[in-house]
């Protein structure tokens, strides 16, 4: 897409992990991994919906540091734009 002069930004699902308290809250390890690892609601509400509505996103978010289990990583999402084909 960059080769076609489209602005792109890679969004990693790893940026949307839940805290350990949430990730390990269930009794079943497989269910915990499949259903509690990632905060899909936040990904949709903070990234995907604003892009759909505004056709662009320029925001800074606090993300979970998996080593400390604290939301102390800042990441800038900028230049995310939807273009009509």
CB 57 within 8 A of CB 47: yes
Complete DSSP assignment for 35-75: IISB-HHHIIIIIIHHHHHHSEEEEEEEEEETTTTEEEEEE
Tens of pLDDT, residue by residue over 46-81, are 998 988 888 888 889 999 999 999 999 999 887 665
* Average pLDDT score over the chain: 87
Long-range contact set of residues 66-73: C-beta below 8 Å, sequence gap at least 24: 66/17, 69/19, 69/20
- pLDDT of 10 reads 76
Q: 38 pairs with which residues across the strands?
A: 17
- pLDDT of 85 reads 45
pLDDT of 38 > 60? The answer is yes
- pLDDT of 79 reads 66
- Total domain count for the chain? 1
Domain that holds residue 31: 2-81
pTM above 0.85, yes or no: no
């Amino acid at each position: 897409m960059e080769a076609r002069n489209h602005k792109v930004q890679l969004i990693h699902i790893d940026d949307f992990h839940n805290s350990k308290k949430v990730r390990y809250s269930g009794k079943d390890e497989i269910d915990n991994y499949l259903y509690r690892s990632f905060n899909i609601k936040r990904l949709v509400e903070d990234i995907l919906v604003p892009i759909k509505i505004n056709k662009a996103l320029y925001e800074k978010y606090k993300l979970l540091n998996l080593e400390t289990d604290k939301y102390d990583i800042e990441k800038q999402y900028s230049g995310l734009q939807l273009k009509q084909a």
